[in-house]
Amino acid sequence: MTKTQNICFNLSEEQTRNITRSVAEIEAIGLSQLQKTASIIRKEMPEKLLRSLEAIGIPGSGVNSIIIHGLFDAINPDQALLVHEAISRHICGINDIKYRYEDHKAIYPRSDGASTSEWGNGVGHISAHSDDLYENVDSDLLSLTVAHDRTACPTLIYNTDDLLSQLPEDDIHTLRTAQVRYRSGRNVTGVRLERIRPVIEPKDDDELYNIDMRVEPNYGDRMVAVEIADQPVLDRLRDALSRTTPISAEGRTGTFVIINNRKVLHSRGSIGQQKGYDHPAEASRLLFRSKGQKVQLQSVNQLF
Ligand SMILES: O=C(O)CCC(=O)C(=O)O
Ligand SMILES: [Fe+2]
């Protein structure tokens, strides 16, 4: 089996400066600007890091997460979004999905999220989870780019293998076979979506995990065993999580994080304030997000 990798890389001050300067000259966000921005980033990135960014999300690649600090500095939200879209789409190959019932792009404490937890636009904590487990389409990858963060609230990353290795073989068997109901929450407006599937699912020669530990005040557990007899295993999974040390992605302007959404979990502490904002640019913390399937062209034959 491939060894799993969690990568953290700091670009040099010179690389940060070069990307920032070149991107500042690009004005609008359009398809050709995205391509151009991606080639600016490629030029500054070490070859090995580029290969890992291209590999994450390909079954069997073993790359679980990548954190890059210093992708840019001191640029405005529009330019941060340009860099985010360029690296997410054109380097990592995320086919970002926009659902009509979810405002997923900008994550910041919103006025309607004051005193709300378990929601990207709330001020409270978010428990460990993978995104979109209730959707029909699986999100292979999730990327986040920090435009600015005055709250110093990191995104936390947990290797699911570290949780599962704490459970006995019987529990693992249950996680492979028992049906679990995954439900949408506060992030989805106007509809309640759900999907039933086991926690551990085979894919190609690999296994992917469906874990969502969020418990929302008005929605309840986002993940519930269909048969009540199977629920204690999910409780033991939660206990294992409390004994697992996460990787901390300390977000500052220009931090980029990409994770294999169904190999690792992500969470966040409370952002430590009560107030929300009406506009992303004014908010104390602003991240851009992409999530969706990995675009892979294995051979030219797939074009025809
Ligand atoms: O705000 C964060 O750090 C993470 C939010 C989150 O759960 C997500 O983007 O899916
Ligand atoms: Fe999330």
Q: Which domains does the chain have, with CATH numbers?
A: 5-295 (3.60.130.10)
Its pTM stands at 0.94
**Residues 6+ away with beta carbon under 8 Å from 256:** 66, 67, 68, 71, 83, 84, 87, 143, 144, 145, 146
CA distance 270 to 238: 19
| Structure confidence at residue 169 (pLDDT) | 98
| Structure confidence at residue 60 (pLDDT) | 87
Ligand 1 neighbourhood includes 289 CB (under 6 angstroms): yes
Ligand 1 neighbourhood includes 56 CB (under 6 angstroms): no
Q: How far is the CA of 129 from the centre of ligand 1 (A)?
A: 9
Helix axes 31-44, 13-24, angle to 10 degrees: 160
pLDDT average per 10 residues of sequence, the chain (304 residues):
90 96 82 89 96 94 97 89 95 93 94 93 97 96 97 97 97 98 94 96 93 93 98 98 97 97 97 91 96 78 54
| Structure confidence at residue 179 (pLDDT) | 98
| Structure confidence at residue 11 (pLDDT) | 97
| Structure confidence at residue 2 (pLDDT) | 74
Ligand 1: residue of 268, 288, 290 to mutate (most ligand atoms within 8 A of CB) is 268
Ligand 1 neighbourhood includes 188 CB (under 6 angstroms): no
| Structure confidence at residue 261 (pLDDT) | 98
Ligand 1: residue of 105, 126, 261, 284 to mutate (most ligand atoms within 8 A of CB) is 126
